[in-house]
Amino acid sequence: MKALRLHGAGDLRLHDEPIPTPKDGEGLLKVTAVGVCGSDLHWFSEGNIGADSLKQPLVLGHEFAGVTSDGQRVAVDPSLTCGQCEFCLEGNPNFCTELLFAGHSITDGALREWMTWRPAFFHPLPEALSDADGAMLEPLGVAIHAVNLAHLKPGMSAAVLGCGPIGLLTLQVARLSGATRILATDLLAHRLDAAQDMGATQTFLADGHSENETLKAATRGRGVDVVFEAAGTAESVESAIGIAKPGGVVVLAGIPTQDETRFTASIARRKGLTIKIVRRMKNTYPTAIHLVERGLVDVRSLATHHFPLERAVEAFAMAQRREGLKIVIEL
Ligand SMILES: [Zn+2]
Ligand SMILES: [Zn+2]
């Protein structure tokens, strides 16, 4: 089979490898669609993510769908959690101490024709969802978790800073949860167009430093109830702190390139902000499937570009240039 491995920063190679054999408790999966994620781009550009660096040639890909050995189309949860540790038992599998994650560390991900995975983490796809839709359920799950953390209530105002796929999905889930006013920012105009289509009430082209004042002015100085930071830049975190209302909630979903998050303490302190950090998601697949099946969240128009595995290097380069929205590799 064909498998794409990352050997170092910028060094992706397509290999011929034997089809893996399932071990105890595993099933064989024929991979059909894999989304290229911002975190894959961290691996690709820098050869690491946060404090984790490449340990061996790694197959990336954690947003994926496939077909099981008995012909069932499924979306796959890339987090293998143990279900038995203290954190799994208290209902926080996202903090599992035994966590294995597809396309991370020594656990190969989905950018290959076949893989093995535990069937308990397969989620059957309804007819209405395509394979690429199935791959989008993972980032949608992160967005659902981010909105859950915010305790957003009907009638609240929100801001989404950074309108990549996570930001655009968060925006849609925030709107569904009752946010009546949603400000959205990004450095790229085509992403703001998408934000407008997906329910943003006002969009702002960011320039990396002056948007803070513009955003505050748009709320007549009050600020918004909830801010979702999904860009991962220092400027965006500072804006998030700046535009939250006194007593507001800031949810940090972006992954910073430098492994550090900083903001002006006095602003956050005087407003008594609640700052929450998104760590993946918690059992969000059933909700995500339901929302897409019912047409309440549009994942399909986010998947703007589709590439075959043979052209994955091109796909990564394109994602790195921030063209399109989500790039999906279809096998
Ligand atoms: Zn991802
Ligand atoms: Zn666990």
168 C-alpha to ligand 1 centroid (Å): 14
Ligand nearest, relative to CA of residue 89:
2
**94: which DSSP letter?**
G
> Which amino acid would we find at residue 15?
H
Distance CA 200, CA 64 (A): 27
Distances (CA, A) of 233 to 44, 69, 240, 259, 260: 18, 42, 11, 11, 10
* pLDDT given at position 196: 97
- What pLDDT tens digit does each residue of the chain (331 aa) get? 999 999 999 999 999 999 999 999 999 999 999 999 988 998 898 887 777 888 899 999 999 999 999 999 999 999 999 999 999 999 999 999 999 999 998 999 999 999 999 999 999 999 999 999 999 999 999 999 999 999 999 999 999 999 999 999 999 999 999 999 999 999 999 999 999 999 999 999 998 766 778 888 899 999 999 999 999 999 999 999 999 999 999 999 998 878 899 999 999 999 999 999 999 999 999 999 999 999 999 999 999 999 999 999 999 999 999 999 999 999 9
89 C-alpha to ligand 2 centroid (Å): 7
Contact, 100 vs 59, CB < 8 A? no
Ligand nearest, relative to CA of residue 94:
2
62 C-alpha to ligand 1 centroid (Å): 6
Contact, 108 vs 58, CB < 8 A? yes
Token pair, residue 128, equals 């209405």
* pLDDT given at position 257: 79
* pLDDT given at position 293: 98
Ligand nearest, relative to CA of residue 95:
2
92 C-alpha to ligand 2 centroid (Å): 8
227 C-alpha to ligand 2 centroid (Å): 30
Ligand nearest, relative to CA of residue 86:
2
CATH 3.40.30.10 assigned to 2-124+299-330: no
Ligand nearest, relative to CA of residue 102:
1
* pLDDT given at position 207: 83
Contact, 162 vs 235, CB < 8 A? no
228 C-alpha to ligand 1 centroid (Å): 17
312 C-alpha to ligand 1 centroid (Å): 16
Token pair, residue 235, equals 């400027």
Distance CA 104, CA 321 (A): 23
What residue ranges do the domains of the chain occupy?
2-124+299-330, 141-277
* pLDDT given at position 168: 98
60 C-alpha to ligand 1 centroid (Å): 10
Q: Which CATH class is domain 141-277?
A: alpha beta
* pLDDT given at position 46: 84
* pLDDT given at position 16: 97
What pTM, to 2 d.p., does this model score? Answer: 0.95
138 C-alpha to ligand 1 centroid (Å): 7
Ligand nearest, relative to CA of residue 165:
1
Ligand nearest, relative to CA of residue 138:
1
| Domains 2-124+299-330 and 141-277 equal at CATH topology level | no
307 C-alpha to ligand 1 centroid (Å): 17
Query: Can you list the positions of beta strands (E) in 88-190?
Result: 100-101, 114-117, 122-124, 157-161, 181-186
Q: What are phi and psi of 63, to 5 degrees?
A: -110, 100
Instruction: Classify 32 as helix, strand or coil.
Output: strand
